[in-house]
Structure 1
Amino acid sequence: MFLKCCIFLTAFSLLTGIYASDTPLKQLHIVFRHGERAPTETYKNDPHINFTWSGGWGQLTNRGKFEMYTLGLKLKEQYSGFIPDYYFPEDVKMRSSYADRCLMSAEALLAALFPPRDQQIWNENLLWQPIPIHYVPRSQDNLIAMKSACKKYDEELAQVLKSEKIQDIIAANSDLLHYLTEHAGQKFDSIGSVELLYNTLEIELLHNLTLPAWTRNVSLEDMKILAARSLEIYTETDFMKKMKGGMFLKEVISSLERTDKSPFLYLYAAHDLTLVNILRALGYKSMLKPGFGASLVFEMRNNSEVTMVYRDDFKSDPEQIALENCRPPCLFDNFKTVLEPFIPSDWEAECTQ
């Protein structure tokens, strides 16, 4: 992936092979992007506009199901000795975005983590067991989908979109936007519109669908850069970081303060934008477009040390990362102090101030 080389070069440091704690774990938080999905939408001149996607538009594909099951197996191996062989509801909490693709990804990952054993086997022909997945409607979710209405955030986002910085990017790519408008059959006048088109073309390529001839004159790599920039616009300012990724970090910190109580394994089925919002609130500055099955893990250890591990997609090797101002060993109190400016004290009140 073309962005991989620049990950975490500014606010984070890669620690693989440099530092690794062998102190036992006390709690895990794992937030992951869903597996491969069908396009959520298409463009007017798409030659595959009538293509039949198994499951439907925006839904998890069969390959996506396999990816999430594979990620579950990898996590089970990575944290063997901590993730138990038996599922007990008091030990595990699975939360998800409202989206079907996230709910289904959660189910596939849980199937890999907790196949029934011994007395938990209820059907000898199906080594699977139902595990509850918690979610709230999109309009009420400020934790995972991060789509709850926030007046002050929306006003700041509108100002960012009109800012000179973003307008300069649009101006610098005016030829591309004009070309896409001419050939795709609809207007392209923003970075976000390029992201949506790139996502559709990327998935069609993954399914061996032939792209129209006009796409040969377009650099998909350049479009991917714009798509990544589109994702980070939602956390362009410190306040925006606080109101998006900061709410998730507040939830993690609150749970890490209760390591003597269950549950000890927290799972979150989310979106690429969820991960970008969280990473940006952690201080990440370089562009990133997480792949299918990308994941970020927060580890709490017995010595009150917090470590973080990132995968760029379901097949990538995990890479340990660190906050710029909390070098390993990063103790929990220091972790909280560094992130305090990006943690909302009263999310709803701060949305209206």
Structure 2
Amino acid sequence: WQFFFIFNTHLSTCCLCILVLRIFRHGDRTPVENFPTALHKESDWPQGFGQLTKIGMQQQYELGRYVRKRYSNFLSATYNRQEIFIQSTDYDRTIMSAQAHLAGLFPPKGSQIWNPQILWQPIPVHILPESQDQILHFPTSDCPRFDELQNETQASRAFQNRLQPYMGFLKTMAAHTGYNVETLKALHKFKTWNIYDTLLCESIHNYTLPEWASQEVMGKMEKLAALSLQSLFGIYKTKEKSQLQGGLLVNAILKDIKQAIKPSNKRKIRIYSAHDTTIGALQMALNIFNGKLPPYRACQFFELYQENNGHYSVEMFYRNDTLADPYPLRLPGCTSSCPLEKFAALVSPVIVKDWSKELATSLPHEGIGDAHSEVPG
């Protein structure tokens, strides 16, 4: 094992860091789809819809440099394939984000420089097809029970109570966007979220916005987009939803952690390049979600430590403000530095032994898979 020492103020003792595990959202991208009255076409964007932009590349490069600085005493000074593993969803924007991130994290040095004019080196990014990806792409496809839960959520009193204050606003938005109210209020169809996302992308890149897209309107739409994400993985039967979605990633993280404590382990850092829905599903499964949409390059950290007494602990951090260090998160029922055994016990309710068996508990019917709308991500 190779460790670095960190002074842990809430423990008042020195700990050895064994593993750093991170899940981040890709960088800035173009819209994923248009709405009927949109002013701009897909051809107005140089690479089309859903693609990483130069801003997004720079954001991920900066995040990579930040991680290099944060863990400078832990990671080797140069890239070592045995120390790092990075996996991405099968989307251009997440694959490219991973590549830009690695450029900032491991710029070539010394003998690793293969071209003095290009201070970059290729580092493998591992990818699974979307149909096989059950830990990063949420909501996972082909899950009839989750589709049922989405329909139940939309009809639940808990959801309707949150949606009701926006009904007048949605009627106005229907007149502006070309969608009917029924489509917009069905937040699991993602049309409302996608309208906000499209306008946000256009504003970031100085495209002309519709006259009705005022700051007040954008603020309300952002809250509705956040409500869409919450309704997707929370609000109603959150535990069961988490077992079918975010709990799959929780289980993968727990396996990564348990693998890291083996004496034969050489891995120091695992990185997952994914989406806002990935972070949302994970944080809601852990009951640490702050109710806000994860911004571009938002990053969830897990750090595994070995205490002086030989026991292990897990700490969590979340970076959604690029001007500050990530802030600590506490798993409900535990301390900020959570003993590994307790961490595993607390997350166990959202981990199922046989996901495919859970999947087979219901027959498919109309649900999120029939929305014909890409989750913003």
Q: Work out whether the TM-score is over 0.5.
A: yes
1:101 aligned partner: 93
Deviates more, 1:279-288 or 1:215-224: 215-224
Q: What SS does the corresponding residue of 2:56 show, helix, strand or coil? A: helix
Separation of aligned partners in 2, 1:60 and 1:141: 21
Q: What SS does the corresponding residue of 1:268 show, helix, strand or coil? A: strand
Alignment size in residue pairs: 338
- Relative distance call for 1:92 and 1:217 in structure 2 (3 A) is closer
Separation of aligned partners in 1, 2:268 and 2:325: 24
C-alpha deviations, 1:222-276, integer Å up to 9, x for none?
2111111111112222110122111111111111112231322100001011101
Q: What SS does the corresponding residue of 1:94 show, helix, strand or coil? A: strand
Q: What SS does the corresponding residue of 2:15 show, helix, strand or coil? A: coil
2:174 counterpart of 1:166: no
Whichever residue aligns with residue 223 of structure 1, its letter is: M
Unaligned 5+ runs, structure 1: 1-15
Among candidates 161, 175, 178, match of residue 171 of structure 2: 178
1:225 aligned partner: 223
C-alpha deviations, 1:288-345, integer Å up to 9, x for none?
2111110001000122111011011444431111112111331111110111111122
Separation of aligned partners in 2, 1:107 and 1:21: 37
Unaligned 5+ runs, structure 2: 1-7, 362-377
- Relative distance call for 1:329 and 1:180 in structure 2 (3 A) is closer
8 Å contact from structure 1 (residues 103, 269) kept in 2: yes
8 Å contact from structure 1 (residues 195, 227) kept in 2: yes
Whichever residue aligns with residue 191 of structure 2, its letter is: S
Q: Report 1:64-143 matches (<5 A).
A: 64-143=56-135
Separation of aligned partners in 1, 2:99 and 2:306: 30
Deviates more, 1:214-223 or 1:155-164: 214-223
Separation of aligned partners in 2, 1:328 and 1:36: 31
8 Å contact from structure 1 (residues 33, 295) kept in 2: yes
2:185 aligned partner: 189
2:343 counterpart of 1:351: no
8 Å contact from structure 2 (residues 60, 97) kept in 1: yes
Matched residues, percent identical?
A: 31
Whichever residue aligns with residue 211 of structure 2, its letter is: A
Q: Report 1:129-278 matches (<5 A).
A: 129-146=121-138, 147-187=140-180, 188-191=184-187, 192-216=190-214, 218-236=216-234, 237-259=238-260, 260=263, 261-278=265-282
User: Which one scores higher on RCO, CA 8 angstroms, separation ≥ 6?
Assistant: 1
8 Å contact from structure 1 (residues 29, 266) kept in 2: yes
Separation of aligned partners in 2, 1:43 and 1:109: 32
C-alpha deviations, 1:64-111, integer Å up to 9, x for none?
000000010011111111122221222111000111100000000001
Deviates more, 1:210-219 or 1:26-35: 210-219
Separation of aligned partners in 2, 1:101 and 1:316: 25
TM-score by length of structure 2 reads: 0.84
8 Å contact from structure 2 (residues 146, 241) kept in 1: yes
Q: What SS does the corresponding residue of 1:215 show, helix, strand or coil? A: coil
Cα shift at 1:287 = 1.1
Among candidates 275, 280, 284, match of residue 280 of structure 1: 284
Cα shift at 1:348 = 1.4
C-alpha deviations, 1:150-198, integer Å up to 9, x for none?
2222222221122233334444322211111111223333333221111
Whichever residue aligns with residue 164 of structure 1, its letter is: R
Separation of aligned partners in 2, 1:311 and 1:21: 25
2:8 counterpart of 1:40: no
Separation of aligned partners in 2, 1:140 and 1:329: 34
C-alpha deviations, 1:103-145, integer Å up to 9, x for none?
0000000011111122222112111111111111112211011
Among candidates 13, 19, 23, match of residue 31 of structure 1: 23
Whichever residue aligns with residue 206 of structure 1, its letter is: I
Among candidates 327, 330, 355, match of residue 322 of structure 1: 330
RMSD: 2.0
Separation of aligned partners in 2, 1:328 and 1:348: 33
Q: What SS does the corresponding residue of 2:273 show, helix, strand or coil? A: strand
1:307 aligned partner: 315
Deviates more, 1:104-113 or 1:39-48: 39-48
Deviates more, 1:121-130 or 1:151-160: 151-160
Whichever residue aligns with residue 204 of structure 1, its letter is: E
Cα shift at 1:285 = 5.3
Separation of aligned partners in 2, 1:20 and 1:297: 21
Q: What SS does the corresponding residue of 1:93 show, helix, strand or coil? A: strand
